[in-house]
Amino acid sequence: MPRPRPSTESSCTLVRRRRPTMLNPAVLVVSVIFLLQQALPATAKKLRGQLSPSELAKRDRERRKAEQCLPANQEFCGNGQGTLVCEFNDDTSYYASRCVKKNSYAKHVALHEKNYCGACHKCFQNANELQSAVHKYVVNGTAETSIAKIYGWPIGSWCVDQVTDFSQLFAGLHDFNEDIGGWDVRRATTMAGMFMNAFQFDQDLSDWNTERVKDMSLMFDRAYSFSGSGLSQWNTSRVSTLQRTFRIAKKFSEDLSAWNTAQVTDMSLLFYRAESFDQPMANWNVEQVTDLSYSFAFAREFNQSLASWRTTSATTTRGMFQSADSFAQDLRGWDVARVTDTSYMFSNALAFDQNINSEELLQTWNMSLVRHRDQMFGVIAPSFNQTSTHPTGSEQVLTAQATSAMGRRDQSISSF
């Protein structure tokens, strides 16, 4: 019997294997770059959101310093064989330009935080020189000006190490708002009126060394936009006057509880119309303060305990809490034995009038030396139309009172 021939059809289905597709390397690189471009900005934005304003400011300064060392920005020397580096000497406190090998400039820059690429720019020797340069810079703050070529650019890179007087430096420069947080102000003794009427200024100043400063009066007077970032870390151990320091600094809200105020004698109008300020101040040493007049007047949000304040040296508390709408703290423990003027002290202080027994307060305090106590409590009716930038209504009353009460002060700097 013949054997059956095998069928030409197979019961198995043959699967043809497809040759794996090879990715084009160029396409792969482009894809990776695209993904990184999408991810990095979001990551950077997230990280920036987690950083404090002071940390962000420091990073920006470090970035600008690094950009100086980019090949395109380097200044060559030694017939093109070297690179200029400006080095700071701690022993002499002076800068000096040095020509170093091209392959070692980065090491020299890293030797000191103040070192930077390029020839040293001129350092300011006194307040007049600095004031003149600031006003020229404000007119034209580009890198191509003669001021920039002499002192550097931007203004935050200027060498102000030798300057002791910063008073009224930016006063009246309404639009100035550049980062000067990297300035070395360790020799400063006065900053009176430094940012007075600098309406737009709001930069982080946490790195400033203020250990020698004695006068901070009017420093941020009418600096409407200044929030106070970085001031919590300042050394104020030598400051003797805080008169009008944050007057009408409407957005100021920094915590100053760690400030050393042991040498301060004048706090008049300190937070007058500082409408956002409401930070703890119980730790402040006010034993030397003689003038507390209008210090919290019209500070409408302020309501912190001041019960621990030792007011033994105070001679006037005139208008101290006038129209401080939220303030309602117990002050029965205060020593006011030397006070001679309490006029308008709690006038229009609505919360205080509603929550504190004024009769009990008067019975507790020793007011034997008080000679002026006009309208210490109660309401002062507005008598003028109100405006947004000048004291009006009951504030006009305050202005008249303050002007007459403080005739010894220099009224030419700025009107109330």
pTM: 0.74
**SS3 state of residue 301:** coil
CB atoms within 10 A of CB 267: 25
Single-letter amino acid, residue 299:
A
Look at residue 67 in the predicted model and tell me its pLDDT: 66
Unique residue bearing structure tokens 């400011």: 57
What contacts 260, CB < 8 A, 6 or more positions away? 235, 236, 237, 285
Condensed to tens digits (0 to 9), the pLDDT of residues 191-241 reads 999 999 999 999 999 999 999 999 999 999 999 999 999 999 999 999 999
Instruction: Round to whole Å and give the CA distance between 225 and 155.
Output: 20
CA distances from 118 to 95, 107, 108, 149, 400 (A): 12, 14, 12, 12, 56
Please list the pLDDT of the chain residue by residue as tens digits (416 residues): 555 555 544 444 444 555 555 555 544 554 555 565 566 555 555 555 577 666 776 776 776 666 667 776 678 887 788 888 888 788 877 777 788 887 777 777 787 877 878 777 889 999 999 999 999 999 998 888 899 889 988 999 899 999 999 999 999 999 999 999 999 999 999 999 999 999 999 999 999 999 999 999 999 999 999 999 999 999 999 999 999 999 999 999 999 999 999 999 999 999 999 999 999 999 999 999 999 999 999 999 999 999 999 999 999 999 999 999 999 999 999 999 999 999 999 999 999 988 888 889 999 999 999 999 999 998 876 654 333 334 444 444 454 444 444 443 333 333 34
CA angle (311 as vertex; 305, 317 as ends), nearest 5: 85
Check residue 269 and give left, alpha or beta (phi > 0: left; psi -120 to 50: alpha): left
CB environment 323-333: b (16+ within 10 A), e (fewer): bbbbbbbebee
46 forms bridges with which residues in the sheet?
Answer: none
Q: How many angstroms separate the most distant Cα atoms in the chain? A: 144
Look at residue 27 in the predicted model and tell me its pLDDT: 46
What contacts 351, CB < 8 A, 6 or more positions away? 303, 325, 326, 327, 328
DSSP 187: T
Instruction: Round to whole Å and give the CA distance between 130 and 135.
Output: 9
Look at residue 186 in the predicted model and tell me its pLDDT: 96
Look at residue 307 in the predicted model and tell me its pLDDT: 97
Q: What are phi and psi of 381, to 5 degrees?
A: -75, 135
What contacts 109, CB < 8 A, 6 or more positions away? 69, 85, 115, 116, 117
Look at residue 259 in the predicted model and tell me its pLDDT: 98
Condensed to tens digits (0 to 9), the pLDDT of residues 47-65 reads 555 776 667 767 767 766 6
Look at residue 407 in the predicted model and tell me its pLDDT: 41
The helix or strand, by DSSP H or E, that contains position 101, with its residue range, turns out to be: strand 94-101
Look at residue 264 in the predicted model and tell me its pLDDT: 99
Contact present, 253 and 231 (Cβ < 8 Å): no
CA angle (191 as vertex; 187, 195 as ends), nearest 5: 135
